[in-house]
Amino acid sequence: MMQKQIESDKAPRAIGPYSQAIQVGPFVFTSGQIPLDPVTNTVEETTIEGQTERVILNLQAVLEAAGMTLESVVKTTCYLQNMSEFTAFNAVYAKFFTGIPPARSCIAAQELPRGVLVEMDAIACEGVGVTLNHGQLD
């Protein structure tokens, strides 16, 4: 199976030897996004709410470059510098992932790149996003 590199100018460029995302078949695997502003390449938000929103907007941009949306996401992995901010993080996350939420792991990380409060990666799948009756597949 072939793999395709996914890149978006609307998300921060990779700052190391990795891709923003890789598509293999119907699946897109994103790299971890931190709350870097894609224009300034700096962290402009200081709160968990602001940083979480920026991270999800960055993920959204990468997914859009692959022809997908946040509704295509089937799994996220979230890294929080401080689990005491879980409730505030969750409130922002819930605004973006509506309908059937993706499966998720949320991990406390002692230190994240550039001292940020949150990092997130996602796995998305083409054709996902349509909700069926009672979650049953026909």
Q: How many residues in the chain? A: 138
Active-site residue flag, 78: no
Q: List 121's β-bridge partners, or say none.
A: 77
**Whether 65 contacts 7, CB under 8 Å:** yes
DSSP code at position 136:
-
- Active-site annotation holder among 106, 109, 112, 123: 106
Q: 43 near 112, Cβ under 8 Å?
A: no
Q: What are phi and psi of 78, to 5 degrees?
A: -120, 135
Which is it for strands 73-80 and 103-108: parallel, antiparallel or unpaired? parallel
Q: Which residues contact 40 (CB under 8 A, 6 or more apart)?
A: none
Catalytic residue IDs: 106
